[in-house]
Structure 1
Amino acid sequence: MKHLLLKLILINLFIFTLNAKENEKITLRLDWLNQFQFAGYYIAKEKGFFNEVGLDVDIKEFEYGIDQIDEVLEQKANYAVGKSSLIIDKLNGKGIVALAAIFQSSPMILLTTNLSIKKPEDLLHKKVMLTPDARTAIAINSMITSRGVNLEHIDFQQHSFNLNNLINGKTDAMGSYISNEPFLLKNRNIKFNILNPKDYGFDFYGGILFTSNIELENNPKRVQDFQKAVLKGWEYDFLNIEESIEIIMNKYNTQNKTYSALFYEANSLKKLSGIDENKLGLIEKSKLEEIQYIYTMQKYVQANQKLSNFIVYPSDVILSSIEKNYLKRNTLTYLSKINAPFNNGLGISSIELDYIDALKSKANMDIKIKNDSNIEESLDLLNKNQAYFKADFSNTPKSSDYLYTQAIATFDLAIATNLSKTYISSTSILENKKVAIRKDCLLLKELEKKYPNIKLIKTESTSDALKLLSDDKVYAVIDLLPLLNLNILENNNTSTRISGVTGLKFELKYILNKEDKVLQTILNKIIQRIDEKVKNEINEKYNILNYETTENISLFYKILIVLVLLLFIFVLYNIKLINEMKRRKELEKELHKIADTDELTNLNNRRKMIKILINSITISRQYKTPLSIIFIDIDDFKIINDTKGHAIGDNILKEFSKLINKNIRSTDTFGRWGGEEFLLILPDTSTENAKRTAENLKEIISSHKFKSKDSITSSFGVTTLKEDDDKKSFIKRADEAMYFVKENGKNAVKVD
């Protein structure tokens, strides 16, 4: 028995493995290192949006020496992220297409800490750091030249990507991202000015997702599936910024960015994305033409070049070369039966033909309309000809004899009655009643099967059925909603209304020659891309009459009273809930303060100082800036406590804390480590400058007259971050230097 069970399990696993469809493996290349700038792609992967469309995406961050465009063209990567300069590559003959612009305005700016530089004219004879690829800096260069400054009169430097070069004056302005470097300067209390090309009329796209013509030709569905998943990822990302940051910090934080830095970046980029204006991913031809004009003026492309076949919109119909050749060789012909249900000569434009117009418009192709007199003639033409198709209005064709498209529209099988009848909430109300229905209604057999007790009276047409209703020979008429609407309106049946629906729905599909698989694929692609808004407009055009309803008034008021009571309870509960949430938020703030603040001195406590130190180490290593710390201990503090009491000791600690805070930079961080020990963190500070700071503080403390009239000295341990340091070794070195001073005379500075 056990062996049999094991065999069954193995067989099921084998079958499951055979049926399981492995996701397609594809690669996305980013144009910089991992950060929030690419969060939408991470979200699409981590939240399963790529998986939903059968894709397994390998996201690769920027690597020096690798050109994203060449990588995509050589099919080493399927997709990549680039800048507006992709326009130049396209015009120069490279086979690429743009799928989405994640940022409606580029985050690229010029950043300066030289506050005398307030406008582009002020850059004359100044040093400016830009990337080696001048094409990516076109917006900045155009901004400068537009103000009458010759680029030859600016000292351009190769970009070092080291913010200290800007801070220390090695350059006057630096190409930066508005979402990154300003945060770092703000964090260090360094004032700066921003020169943004957008403010001078040079508004370029940023973060353009692109692929190759080869990928588009060979895998059109994959391209649009990937595009759809990416935009879904970005939309989720900007609506759930905190969650996105957590994902980045856990899986993609190769730059070791802090939560605060990512949060700042996220909110800066959200503003550039245009998501609040429903512009996420949008690429406008008019804006591309403006950018192309700027590239032309800068001589990067020739004049009068046409930028064609560059944008692939999510709603585009993407045809393969085989499908394009099919349309070149064949004229599509739509067979429309003269008195078919949706083309019944009522003198009103046909819903059937409106959908054909939608097909033509969506794919920008011609479809010839051919009228036939009967179903046999239509089927004979379908059997003999490819490139012919017709709407499926009949039960005659068998699925194995013809090909069918996806449904282009869905219609309710509705119920019409005279005004004297009440609203029909359930089709079962019609049981044992006479109901008229068109004899060739496609849903007739399904209706008979589902409701066998309805006495169906079959008529030649919808108009004949409505005549029976007006003569009170039947209780109701059942037909497709648009047909009932049209016939009631055309025949001026003022005493007739739509009283309900049966729950059955008719799907409008097209049938075609069973060998015509290419046409089936073409039509399905077009149907998938017809906008829901277009479909709704067509349907509403023919759903002219509204459903009429008759309600039980007493029941209505009973329900209303119950709803009002429920609403009152709900509002009362929510007021209590809101007050409780406010109280909890206030408590949470207080708890955060207690958790991070020393109660006596109101300084950062040890826990908070460790957090700040870890963050400072990350920034120091990322931007290759020196970081120093100073441990400070009040000499002989135990004697003060023992001889004068803890109250005096506490007052000295408070006064000591204020004295240090008053005499350090705004970029420095001071906190109580414990007892009479304190830690001072000095970002962007060399060993020599840290020692000078410690010597200065030592003199200030020893010369200060405390309110208790005590004279106090302190011992200082100074060290600077080394390459192989971690947090513990860094702290230990400063701590040991301080204790060396305490054991060797006190009131001194020791550097280790």
Structure 2
Amino acid sequence: MGFAAPMKFRTSALDITTRLFWCTKLVVLICLFTPPAFAEASKVNLQLKWHHQFQFAGYYAAQAKGFYKDAGLDVNIIEGGPGKPALDAVLNGSVQYGISDADVLMAHMHGKPVVAMAAIFQHSPFIIISREDSNIHRLADLMGKSVMMKHDLSAVQFDAMMLKAGLDPTSVRFVTHTGQLDDLINRKVDAMAAYATNEPYRLRARGVEPAIISTIDYDVDFYGDTLFTSRREIETHPERADAFLKATLRGWRYAFDNPEEIANLILQLPGVKQSGATQESLLAEAKSMRPLVMPDIVDMGHMNTERWSHIAQLLVRLKLAPDSYEPRKFIYHYATTPNTLNTRWIAFGVAATLLCVMLVILWNVQMRRQVRMRTEALHAEIARREQTEAYLKISSRMARVGSWVLSLPEKTLYWSEEVLDIHECPPEFAPTLDSALAFYPEEWRSRIVQALEECLQKGDSFDEELPILTCKDKLLWIRIIGQAVYDLHGNITRIEGAIQDISAQKVAESRIQHLAFYDSLTSLPNRQLFIDRLEHTLAYSARTSKSGAVLFIDLDNFKTLNDTMGHDLGDMLLQQVAMRIAGCLRESDTVARFGGDEFVVLLHELSGNHQEAAAQARLVSEKILISFAHPFQFSGYEHHTSASIGVTLFDQQPTTVDEILKRADLAMYQSKAAGRNVIRFFDPEMQALIADRVEMEEDLRNGLRNDEFFLCYQPQVDNQGRLLGAEALLRWRNPKRGMIPPSTFIPLAEDSGLIVSVGNWVMYAACKQLVLWAQQPLTSSLTLAVNVSAKQLRQMDFVDQIVEVLNVTGANPKRLKLELTESLMVNNIEDVIAKMTELKNIGVGFSIDDFGIGYSSLSYLKLLPLDQLKIDQSFVRDVLTDPNDAVIARTIIALGKSLNLQVIAEGVETLSQREFLDNYGCDAYQGYLFSKPVPADEFERDVVQTFEHF
């Protein structure tokens, strides 16, 4: 009992002392950290580049955790979005700070007073995303496709990628970016510009697997999400800029250390949940940001002048910025002017220190308690960091990346376990600077030595991709980055950085390059690479007296092999052809495949003498033809083929790639016309003919539009001399060229594809004539024969077209006879029979035109719903003088009789010819003996009246 009172007294005294201590401490804190009444928190505005998402987590963390408030700032965070560029807002003064991309640099290059303060993304998050099932995996796959693109730096990065890949951006069809993934999911566009941090996740969440084309794959790596301000803000409020930047970077570090907390914070922001964001999607975004921001490898917000200069040079190459630019006054450096606000705090704190002296004893009482609490917190922090380091080591091993440090002035080198593993060195290996440099092949070593020297002397950071030979003599590609570290006096004390194994990436790049420049079937250079080499050869020839040559090689009858034996054998033939052509060339020459069965050869450094160069080119061409003389073997099948070769020479005289290829192509067609398996050199006269052919093709198109065509009619009579009908023959009267014979314009129409339009016109005109004849007693029973081309008959809707013409004109189908050539029977005979049968059922008749000069299989002939065979005039012409023609004519008549078909002979010009054919049972005749082809009015006036007397 005697000790109870004193104990109670001491407890009460300690309790009072504690309370007094905390009250006093509160007073001290208020004195030290509450600024004077006139120094209120500085209000600033920060505009984001887009809507709220984890992409801007650091700014939310700095605001929510009070880092801005601790720095004396009242920060208002404003959302960005379409039509609200942060760059404009900063420049017009409505906000002090903004987030944008490298377009800040572009603005500075055009004289705008902007300053880059920090780059959050060390690697560009910009990607081109498409559906995996769209088969778009590289830039070349976007040719002719639609791409949704923003009109900002996204388009700049895309153009830079296309430039790196050697592709033309105008070959892509751009669509204004709506920001809606549905446009891609529903295939309204083929691809879209996106961010690697969230769009792939959102696409997968919708059940669509994405395909990604990254800027990094094409060596286009801009800084991303750059924090920037105006030169006015730096000059007028240097202490505020310092405070804002430090608080922001502190916020970013907190955000990456506590992603779950910040994700929940973002979900409370206006509009976030409504956009469909969840904690899972925000954490997925945070995870995908980490390798782009690299918070564990480089300082948060890191930037260097050299990389900005590299980006600037790329913008200059794209003609988006002026030449001769140096990014001076563009990168922000911490202000050195005194902080007047802190000065006031310190002055005010001096007064408060006097009060602290009175409370030293009470402070010491609490010190032990504070030490204990801080020790416990320190142990917890150590445990957390050890766990983080363990996770980081696992990540580093998986990513094949490790750290290194070069300490100065001793130049001692430290490698992490991951770097030792990349170099395939034993754990006990102690690297030195010399032994580390020895891993680089001699021809590459100078680059890393120069980078280290510039870092030591100037403090320049470096980022290089180099090959190494490991301790086990394995060739790898690594990416090595390094930066200088300074002491308080501004002296460089060490260089530190990271090394990453990028061998897999290099293999992928090599594969992409091979796909872009080489033919996948033959592994020969493709058109793009060939044109590039031809341009270099032209430049070389212009500087020297050397000549060159281009050989255009086209396989003869390649389509027949594909159609009869299948595409697999066709591909095998192309592969063997590629090897044989390559075997005939020098190492300095180039052979490329342009597609299909077209190969092109570039002969380099031929003689400066034109005749000698031609002889050299001919020698190579003959070697190629000779190599084709041996049959090609395909697993038990033997195939013979030949080639047609067109050759053109070039020298120091100015010319273009397109002109050279056009000449070689024309020469190849001249070779085809000469009978194939021959060599032809380019002939200027041939070019003139081709130019005239192109002009005539355009005249042919205009002729259809301007109603320059008309029909003539040649009578067909029976063996009693009675008029049966006529054949409709097309004629063309051109205002400039006059009457153009069918033998000139019909082949042109066939080659150009206009024969379908011409054939439709003829069918309408013929059926209209049948309707007119049906209205007159003398012509109402006549039939009209109309020629049908192969391309017409192959039209899927050929039958529907004929039926429509008959319905529109009102012509009697029983008076219409379609004349088909034998060549139509070669391919897809089942389709031909089906179409003929369908028309036959409504009354249309059929005749085989020019019978005997083409290909006819009797087994097919008996299946065709024919009415008539027409003996070609080439047999009728010499039927009295050539025994062979006589036999053929008799055989055709006999064949027709046996198949119960009518037989008509065309080209009958003499009575003797008619009598000969009549003796063997020919049923009808057509030719100049009866009448030449005449217009409709003359046919009705003269021909019909003449045959009425028979």
Same fold (TM over 0.5): no
Q: What is the TM-score of this pair, normalised by structure 2?
A: 0.32
Larger radius of gyration: 2
Q: What is the TM-score of this pair, normalised by structure 1?
A: 0.40
Q: Which has the higher contact order (CA 8 A, sep 6+)?
A: 1
